[in-house]
Amino acid sequence: MRNLLDVQMPEVSGFDVIEAIGAELAARIIFVTAFDHYAVQAFEVYAVDYLLKPIDDERLAQALQRAREALNTAPSAGSVDRTN
């Protein structure tokens, strides 16, 4: 699952959404926004990528590939650490 999320929205910010869903799901988020000054904050909550509007098709393809790679290497939600 990949999610595109804007930083500024009418009712809440993208960071409010991250807070509501939990930081562990932020690793599946690609921020898409016109505001470059939120980029550091986006990566602090482990966003996969940060795209500036207007979006370049090649840059979007790169971000989606990065998200696919992140999902393929992430442990599954049902995995259990059996090392203890």
If you search the block for the tokens 């699952």, which residue do you land on? 1
> pLDDT value at position 25?
72
* Burial of residue 50 (number of CB atoms within 10 Å: 0-12, 13-18, 19+): buried
Tokens representing 52? 């500036």
Instruction: Report the run of H or E that residue 32 belongs to, with start and end.
Output: strand 29-33
> pLDDT value at position 73?
78
31-76 residue pLDDT tens: 999 999 999 999 888 889 999 999 999 999 999 999 888 878 766 5
What CATH number has the domain spanning 3-73?
A: 3.40.50.2300
Higher pLDDT, 25 or 50: 50
Residue 11 has pLDDT above 60, yes or no: yes
Decide: 14 and 6 in contact? Cβ < 8 Å: yes
Domain ranges of the chain: 3-73
